[in-house]
Amino acid sequence: MKGKFPIGIFDSGYGGLTVFKSIAHKLSAYDYIYLGDNARSPYGDHSFETVYEYTLSCVEWLFKQGCPLVILACNTASAKALRSIQQIDLPEKYPNNRVLGVIRPTAEVIGNFTSSQEIGVMGTRGTVNSGSYPIEIDKFFEQVKVYQQSCPLWVPLIENNEHLNEGADFFVQKYIHQLLEQSNQIDCILLACTHYPLLIPKINQYLPKHIKLLTQGDIVADSLVDYLNRHPEMEERLAKNSTRVFYTSGDVSSFNEHASLFLGQKITAHKLNS
């Protein structure tokens, strides 16, 4: 296909907007299409097969819009669908397109943020049970011990806009406590779900001050800058008119309302008609 095309950004819903925000800031010249699969989210408790099927259908839709490069700005999709898409679907059906996730770029640098060599990873059940973080981190930082905690109530609290209300305190405290109970040497915690940055004000209330809290937006954006420098053949296929277009498979007005919270700016999304 000739011409220049946008970068596709995919998430199960709104969470990917926290990553998109950093990417669009660092790589502001490029065009972007964001797709949130709100109609079928949250993905966190779905099986491997379901997350793969949903994620692939969204990636294929972004390919149809012309995007040669798609970022899975969702840990759950990166944990459960990325490998199959990269190893099976791309070579067979889309050999010239690329799909990148958020787990590997994070694993590549996370060891630089710990002195004790013990880190905590908080994510959805899907991400935690997949074991993707311990496996990937071990490839780059063999000496780092990874403790994981799933936080199944955090995404629903955020999606129902209850995350900064009093009721959220119980579950914020509970999951932090369960993680820190596993080791008192943890000095760095990764928020391994793109929704969780919205909970930071509450998390900070319950997190001991010496523990660093790490989010993924800037890490993924830096990694994409590096990727485009190393892959000029992909870079030259990308359009640079600074356009941003948002699609949701769910309710548009609800998406617009939530998206403003995640992105810090007003947007007008389109309804996905597959």
Q: Are 5 and 68 in contact (CB under 8 A)?
A: yes
Q: What is the DSSP letter of 28?
A: T
Q: Least distance (Å) from ligand DGL to the CB of residue 13?
A: 6
CB nearer to ligand DGL: pick between 185 and 254:
254
Q: Which of residues 180-239 bind ligand DGL (CB under 6 A)?
A: 193-195
Q: What H or E segment, with its residue span, contains residue 176?
A: helix 168-180
Nearer to ligand DGL, 208 or 264 (CB): 264
Q: Is 6 in the site for ligand DGL (CB under 6 A)?
A: no
Site string for ligand DGL, 68-87 (x = CB under 6 A): ------xxx-----------
**Cα Rg for the chain, rounded, in angstroms?**
18
249 binds ligand DGL (CB under 6 A): no
Token code pair at residue 223: 């990694």
Active site residues: 74, 193
Using the rule CB under 6 A, is 20 a contact of ligand DGL? no
Residue 15 near ligand DGL by CB under 6 A: yes
Half-sphere exposure for 255 (CA within 13 Å, toward CB): 26
Q: What share of the chain is helix, strand, coil (3-state, %, to 5)?
A: 50, 15, 35
Report if residue 41 touches ligand DGL, rule: CB under 6 A. Answer: yes
3-state secondary structure of 53: helix
Examine residue 250 and tell whether it contacts ligand DGL (CB under 6 A): no
User: For residue 115, how many other CB atoms are within 10 A of its CB?
Assistant: 10
Comparison of 127 and 249: residue with beta carbon closer to ligand DGL: 127
The CA-CA-CA angle for residues 121, 122, 126, to 5°, reads 105
Q: Is 42 in the site for ligand DGL (CB under 6 A)?
A: yes
Residues that bind ligand DGL (CB under 6 A): 11-13, 15, 41-44, 74-76, 124, 127, 155, 193-195
